Every structure is written in C-alpha cells, then in structure tokens.
Amino acid sequence: MKPAVLTGEYFMTGDVACAEGAMAAGCLFFGGYPITPATEIAEHMSGRLPDVGGTYIQMEDEIAAIASVLGASWAGVKSMTATSGPGFSLMMENLGLGICTETPCVIVNVQRGGPSTGLPTMGAQSDMMQARWGSHGDYEIIVMSPSSCQEIFYQTITAFNLSEAYRIPVVIMTDEIIGHMSEKVIIPRAKEIQTVSRVKPKGKKENFKPFKPGPNGVAPMPAAGEGYNVHVTGLTHDEKGYPAMAVEAQEEMMKRLIGKVRNNLDDIIKTEGYLLEDAEIVIVSYGVSARTSFAAVGEARAMGIKAGLLRLITIWPFPEEQIKELAEKVKGFITVEINLGQIHREVQRCVGYRTPAYLVGHHGGTVITPDQVLSVLKEAF
Amino acid sequence: MAKKNKKAELQPAHPLDDLIRTDRIPHIWCQGCGIGTVFSACLIGMKHSGLELNKFAMVSGIGCSGRAAGYVNVDSFHTTHGRAIPFATGLKLANTDLNVIVFSGDGDLFAIGGNHFIHAARRNMDLTVICVNNLTYGMTGGQVAATTPHMARSTTTPSGNPENPFNLPLLAFASGATYVARWTMLHARDLAESIQVALLKKGFSFIEVLSPCPINYGRRNKEKALDTLNMYQEKTIIKNGADPSELDIDFDKGVILGKFIDVDKPTHIENYDKIYRTRE
Ligand code: SF4
C-alpha cells in the first residue's frame, strides 16, 4: 500500500491535482470513461487507486460510469467519476437517481466548448445550468468551481466532505484550461487534511429507516451487507425507502431532498471577496474566468475605478443573499464567464432593478482577457 | 392489483417469509403473471445456496420484473431503466464479499441495458443475472421488445413485429458469460437449482426464464395464461449443453431449455487483484 496523501510540493495539472485531492479525501472507487479533457483524471486514478486500496474500472459509457459510482457508494465507499460535456449529458439520468436516493458521490465536469461534440480540446464554462437543472424533476444540488490547480486539490476534498455530510452528489465544474494547465500544488500532511464520512446508523437494524432525516436533515446511511436490509429506489419513497405513489409522499420526500440543502446554506456556500469593501462595481466570476476578473480589478483600480471581485466558489446553491446585499450598496455588476450568460442571468435575478448588471461572456474555446472586461467596465459605468 | 387479504394475514408464515418484505405485500404483479414464480425460485436458490443471507444484494432495473428488488428482504436497489448491471458492478467491486444478483426483465436488460449486459459478461464480472423474459414491455402496456417474436402483435406492432428477436443465451455466450441457462417459470424446481448453482459459481452467470405476461402479451397474441403454460410444458425440450446458436425461441419447432454453458475463467476481480494489487 502506498500513501493516499502524497505530501509535498509539485508542479501538476488541474486534472492530476483533482485526482490527488480525491484520494486525499478518501476516495476508493472511480468509475471512468475516457473523454477529453477529463481523461487524465481517470488515467491518474487507474494507476494510483489500487495502490491505496481502491478500485478503478473503466465502464462501457458514462451512463455505466455513474451507475457504478452509485453502486460503489452504497457499498460504503467514497466514489467518483469525471467527464466532460457529452459524458455529463449521459450522466444526467443517474445523477437524478443519486439525488433521489441520497447517495454521496463526486462528479467532475472538465468543461469544453459545446453544444454537442463542440470543442473537445478547448475550454468553456457553458454547462453551468446543466449542472443545476440537467436531470429531470425539481431538486437541489451542490456545485463548486475551482480557479487554480491548488484549489481543485482542496475543492475535491471539500466536495467529498459535503457529499458525505449531506448524502448528495456534488459536482465540480472545472474547465479544460484549469484541467490541462500545470501549476504549483502543495499537498499538506495527511493529518492536516480534514475529511468527513457519512454518518452510520446506530442501534437496532430491524425496521431501520434509511431516509429518516436526523437533526440536520440528513439520514444516517448504512452500507449494503451490514444487515440493515435497506431498500433503495428512484421511485418516490417514504422514510423506509419504500415506494409511495401519493401526492403527500411526494411532498414529504421533496421537502426532505430540498430542505437539507436550503436549510444549510451558510455551511455549504463559499465565496471569496477581493476589494469588495469599498467597491462600486462588483465583478462576479468563477473558475478560470475569476483569474481574468482578478487581473481586471487590479487594472481598474490602477485607473481609479473602484472595482471589486466576488469569486463564486460554490455555484449552486447560488449565493443569492450575498449578491442581494451587495446590490443595495454598489453601482453595478459585471458577470464574467465563458458562456453566453448562464450565471449572469442568476445575478440579474438577484439584483433585480436595484442596479444594472452586465455580462462579459464568450462563445467558448479560450479565456476572456482582462481587456475585454475593462472595456465593458469603462463603457458601462 | 390485488386487494389486501385479511385472511392471508392469519395464515402461518411461509418458509420464504424471512426473505420477503411481507410489509410490502400485496405485490403489484397481475394474476397469471409468471414473475412471482421466478422470484420465489430465486429466493429458494438463495436459501439453498447456504450463503450468508446478509451478504446478498439484489439490483433491479425498471419494469414489472424490476419490482423484485422491492420485495426481497435483503439490501435491494431499484435503479434506473437498463442500469441495474453497472450499478451492481460498482456495488460488487466496492465490496467483493457481497453476492450480487441482478433480477430484471428482457426490455430492461437487453434493449436499454444491452450494452451493459455484454460488457459485464465480457469482463466476467462476478454477478448472477436473472432475466425474466416475457417477450414484451409489460409495465408500459405491451410494446414490442428486443425479444418479441417475429410477427407477434404488440401495441406498437399492431400488424405484427417486423423485426427479429435476440437469442439471449447465444448473446450471453458470445459476450463471455461463464454460466448460461434457460428455463421457463413452469420448470420452477430446475430453475431454483440452476439459480443456486449460478449463485455459488464465480464469474458472470446468466439465466433466462421464460414467463407469461397474459395481460399485455398473451391477450394480443391469442394466448391465454394457461395456453402459455401448456406450451412451456409440451413444446420445450431439455437439452443441457445444447449449441447456443440453436436456441432461438420458436414454439412451433420446440424451445430448448437447460444449462448450456458452465466454464471456469478468472473473474474480473481475480484478474484485477492479480495484476494491480500485487505490484511493487
Ligand atoms: S403486465 Fe404482464 S409482466 Fe407485468 S405484472 Fe402484469 S402480467 Fe406480469
């Protein structure tokens, strides 16, 4: 056996840093399927996982990949998969099963340009709404986005921790640019890494209710083979896990699935502010585009424009309250993202008519430059 | 759907009761449906295998047969349409002590889930796959399936099926399954024994079970429930070791039942452990 945490200083790609973060979080199962630009995560896991006591399998498609991940999770193992646009589309069906059956797992989408096969080797951020609403039905989900190779290492650990704490699939929305670029990554000592594992049930096994929420809205989760004889279904079910085809049962289940996220927003949502204290113009951005925005803020300040950056680390649930609060005191917003306004519309929704909100978007394939942000900034305000 | 039967509650416990979620009875299966018989043969096979019952897990997809996971009193997973096998693959790989049974229907396993079936067989994944083949999509009202005989009527082939069905044992054999058998639900004892053998055998085992859907298949093809059972009795031949290419389902010629393949090959898990867990 080799250590899961490779303490040290490295120069590694975002994809490899994500894989190392997963193992540091305790991931022991990866169900993969090759797809550019996420393949390197699967490749790295296939080599490393067996050495730390885990299992890698390359499935026959992305549908099977995520199905195997859900199965492994019910065997009690932290599990994940990684993909890009077309594969992410195929995963939507079983992402819904994961939500409905409250199955912890982590899904990484290394975004590339779309629609369809799009730009396999070139970055974009255009699956952000798919990450929120891609599976059918109403639901809540946790989605995060990293801005550097170092951050994706830690964010993958956080993603596992949240998924275990809330029994929910967590999606990391990175992009080809972060995935394929190499940066310095520091991996700390194992004991400095905080990991969370799902709460196991205690007490009598008979008539155990695997979907009966505890005080924080989350039910303890046994694993298959532990004697609880759980039944798990994607049908609307009661707390015992039994199908319940009734309006009341639907309401109760939906309240449970949604409540565990909506009632814990303070614990889940993470953002980072830069020069927001006196900012008159707030740039909202995430992932690789937050780096562009960071540079743009610096240049704007040098020109005497009071700009600040709100970097979204958690994308969904959306940091609504924070944007509403800012909207009370600033002159306007600019959202910077490599798509045609997916998060921009969310910002607009939160800002309402309080202040103007602009978009610096992009059709996909490359990063947005600070100059593009600055020209909108100068023109608009 | 049957009504709750007060009398039934007073009757003594059935010997398989410990393997059934009795609190979920009555089940949803129609009168004259064969799934229940296949299900109880599966429970008998599980019991007689002598394997620890707590270490069984059942995974089903969607459809009438897919409801089996909802009635068996072991850890049981009713997944999405066609995805029982890859879900079961992850379950098994992450805890190799589990004995994982996939119990589902022909539509689920061989149309929407066909790709997963052939790959799990190719890998020799350690699973026992039981396919209730009723030649149709029962749950949705009797549409044509990948197993529906040529010219048979269904709600989506009102003048007869223009396509040809799969020969499932041949498909399983060609994909690499190490145990392949076919029975009908009328051959309940042979079936239970076959399931028992398959559960004890390592690697990918596949059992096809012909089973009537009088409501949504029989009705449209001038076959009463009893007619189907008569065919199962009179128009079948048990021929162990038969060539899988001879196993097309044609009741006019006679349908071959039996155990066709029983070979030993290293399983995926054995290979993975040998190659990946022993390296420096
Ligand atoms: S529809 Fe057919 S397969 Fe389904 S329960 Fe009724 S008889 Fe059985």
Residue A238 domain-assigned (yes or no)? no
Q: Which of B23, B57, B279 sits opposite A224 (nearest CB)?
A: B57
pLDDT at site A333: 98
- Name the residue among A289, A371, A300, A366 with its Cα closest to residue A332: A300
Report pLDDT for B5.
Answer: 53
Q: How far, in Å, is the centroid of ligand 1 from the Cα of B185?
A: 14
- A155 with A283, same domain: the answer is no
Higher pLDDT, A350 or B6: A350
Q: Which of A33, A57, A93 to mutate to test the interface with B (most CBs of B within 10 A)?
A: A57
For residues A149-173, average pLDDT: 98
- Give the pLDDT confidence score for residue B278 in this predicted structure: 83
Residues of B whose CB is below 8 A from A71: 59, 77, 86-94
Which DSSP category does B155 fall into? T
- Phi/psi region, residue A206 (left: phi>0; alpha: psi -120 to 50; beta: rest), is beta
- Asked whether the predicted pLDDT for residue A235 surpasses 90, the reply is yes
**Most informative mutation of B35, B60, B220 for ligand 1 (most atoms within 8 A of CB):** B35
- Please, is A3 exposed, middle or buried when counting C-beta atoms within 10 Å of its C-beta (0-12, 13-18, 19+)? exposed
B interface with A, Cβ–Cβ < 8 A, is: 21, 23-24, 54-55, 57, 59, 69-70, 73-80, 82-83, 85-95, 97-98, 115-116, 119, 272, 276-277, 279
CA dihedral (B183, B188, B194, B196) positive or negative? positive
User: Closest residue of A to B122, CA-based?
Assistant: A60
**φ/ψ of residue A317, rounded to 5:** -60, 145
Do A82 and A177 reside in the same domain of the chain? Answer: yes
With pLDDT > 70 as the criterion, what percentage of chain B qualifies? 95
Q: What is the CATH number of the domain that holds A51?
A: 3.40.50.970
Residue B4 has pLDDT above 70, yes or no: no
Shared-domain flag, residues A20 and A153: yes
Grouping H, G, I as helix, E, B as strand and the rest as coil, residue B100 is strand
Q: How far apart are CA A66 and CA A88, in angstroms?
A: 10
For residue A163, give the 3-state DSSP assignment.
helix
Compute the distance from residue A93 Cα to the ligand 1 centre, in Å: 25
> Residue B279, Cβ neighbours under 10 Å: how many?
8
Please indicate, yes or no, if residue A230 is contained in any of the structural domains.
no
CB contact under 8 A, A68 and B86: yes
Q: What is the pLDDT of residues B44-67, one digit of tens each?
A: 999 999 999 999 999 999 999 999
Which residues of chain A are within 8 Å of residue B85 when distances are taken between CB atoms? Answer: 64
Q: Band of the pLDDT at A203, cuts 50, 70, 90?
A: confident
CB contact under 8 A, A224 and B92: no
- Answer for the pair A289, A261: CB distance below 8 angstroms, yes or no: no
Contact B68, B60 (CB under 8 A): yes
A51 close to B273: Cβ distance less than 8 angstroms: no
Q: Where are the domains of chain B?
A: 30-279
DSSP B165-217: ---HHHHHHHHT-SEEEEEETT-HHHHHHHHHHHHHS-S-EEEEEE---TTTT
Residue nearest (by alpha carbon) to ligand 1 atom 5? B29
CA distances for A158 relative to A107, A216, B43, B105, B235, angstroms: 13, 18, 42, 40, 61
pLDDT given at position B10: 56
φ, ψ for residue B124, nearest 5 deg: 55, 50
Looking at the structure, do residues A171 and A288 belong to the same domain, yes or no?
no
Cβ count near A158 (within 10 Å): 24
Judged by a CB distance cut-off of 8 A, whether residue A243 touches chain B is yes
Which of B29, B71, B104 for mutating ligand 1's site (highest number of atoms within 8 Å of CB)?
Answer: B29
Tokens of A151: 């951050």
Give the end of a domain, one of A175, A192, A209. A192
- Rounded Cα distance between B122 and B203, Å, is 10
Tell me whether residue A185 is in a domain. Answer: yes
Give the N- to C-terminal CA distance of chain B in Å, as an integer.
59
Answer whether A112's CB lies under 8 Å from A174's CB: no
For A372, phi then psi, to 5°, come to -60, -40
Confidence of residue B2 (pLDDT cuts 50, 70, 90): very low
Reported as half-sphere exposure (CB side, CA atoms, 13 A), residue A57 has a value of 34
The H-assigned helical ranges of chain A are 14-25, 39-48, 62-74, 85-100, 128-133, 149-166, 176-180, 247-262, 265-268, 287-302, 320-329, 342-351, 370-380
pLDDT of residue B8: 52
Q: Measuring CA to CA, which residue among A165, A113, A114 is closest to residue A142?
A: A165
Q: Looking at the domain assignment, is residue A329 inside a domain?
A: yes
What's the mean per-residue pLDDT of chain A? 97
Tell me which of A170, A192, A214 is where a domain ends. A192
Q: B90 vs A63: CB contact, 8 Å cut-off?
A: no
Judge residue B122's burial from the number of C-beta atoms within 10 Å of its C-beta, 0-12 exposed, 13-18 middle, 19 or more buried.
middle
% chain A with pLDDT above 70: 100
Considering the four listed CATH numbers 2.40.280.10, 3.40.50.970, 3.10.620.30, 3.40.50.620, the one that applies to the domain covering B30-279 is: 3.40.50.970
Per residue, what are the HEC states of B37-61?
HHHHHHHHHHHHCCCCHHHEEEEEC
pLDDT of A167 over the 80 cut: yes
Of B155, B146, B139, B118, the closest CA to residue B62 belongs to: B139
> What's the pLDDT score for residue B9?
54
Amino acid at A252: E
Residues A174 and A283 in one domain: no
Ligand 1: list residues with CB < 6 Å: B 29-30, 33, 35, 64, 134, 138-139, 213-216
A237 domain residue, yes or no: no
Closest listed residue to residue A72, CA positions, set B270, B202, B100: B100
**Closest by CA position to B207, among listed B152, B278, B131:** B131
> Residue B182 CA to chain centroid, in angstroms?
10
Note whether residue A302 is domain-resident: yes
Q: Provide the ipTM.
A: 0.97
- Among protein residues, the one with the nearest Cα to ligand 1's atom 8 is B33
Nearest CA to ligand 1 atom 6: B30
Residue of A48, A59, A62, A93 to mutate for B, most B C-beta atoms under 10 A: A59
The structure tokens 């780096």 sit at A291
Alpha-carbon distance B255 to A190, whole Å?
62
Q: How far apart are alpha carbons A164 and A159 in whole angstroms?
A: 9
pLDDT band, residue B6 (cuts 50/70/90): low
Mean pLDDT to the nearest integer, B231-254: 97
Distance from CA of B25 to the nearest CA of A (A): 12
Q: Is B75 within 8 Å of A230 when comparing Cβ atoms? A: yes
Looking at the partner chain, which of B23, B94, B279 has a beta carbon nearest the beta carbon of A75? B94
Cβ distance A73 to B90 less than 8 Å, yes or no, reads yes
The answer to whether residue A120 scores a pLDDT higher than 60 is yes
**In this structure, are A143 and A286 located in the same domain?**
no
Q: What percent of chain A has pLDDT over 90?
A: 98
Q: Can you give the residue range of the structural domain that contains A60? A: 8-192
Chain B residue with minimum CA distance to A30: B90
pLDDT in tens, A323-353: 999 999 999 999 999 999 999 999 999 999 9
Q: What is the pLDDT of residue B279?
A: 77
At residue B59, the pLDDT reads: 98
| pLDDT given at position B20 | 96
- Whether B219 shows a pLDDT value over 90: the answer reads yes
Q: Name the closest residue on chain B to residue A234, using Cα atoms.
A: B79
Judged by CB atoms closer than 8 Å, whether chains meet at B90 and A230 is answered as no
**Intra-chain end-to-end CA distance of chain A, in Å:** 59
Scan residues 57-96 of A and list those with Cβ closer than 8 Å to B. Answer: 57, 59-61, 63-65, 67-77, 79, 93-94, 96
Residue A85, pLDDT > 70, answer yes
HEC sequence for B215-243 = CCCHHHHCCCHHHHHHHHHHCEEECCCCC
Residue appearing with tokens 């707030």? A282
- Residue A298, domain CATH: 3.40.50.920
* Angstrom distance (rounded) from CA B228 to CA B134: 11
- The answer to whether residues A316 and A143 touch, using CB atoms and an 8 Å cutoff, is yes
The four Cα atoms A134, A137, A140, A146 give a dihedral, to 10 degrees, of 0
Domain termination residue (choose one: A169, A192, A215): A192
Q: In chain A, how many domains are there?
A: 2
Question: Which of A59, A68, A237 would best serve as a mutation to test chain B binding (most B beta carbons within 10 A)?
Answer: A68
User: Does residue B1 surpass a pLDDT of 50?
Assistant: no
Alpha-carbon distance of B157 to B151, in angstroms, equals 8
Residues A271-300 have a mean pLDDT of 98
Distance of CA A318 to the CA centre of its chain: 12
- Sign of torsion over alpha carbons B64, B70, B76, B77: positive
Q: Which atom of ligand 1 is nearest to the CA of B134?
A: 3
Location of structure tokens 């995974």: B59
Question: At residue A192, does pLDDT exceed 90?
Answer: yes
Phi, psi of B248 (to 5 degrees): -60, 145
Cα–Cα nearest to A188, from A4, A14, A366, A379? A4
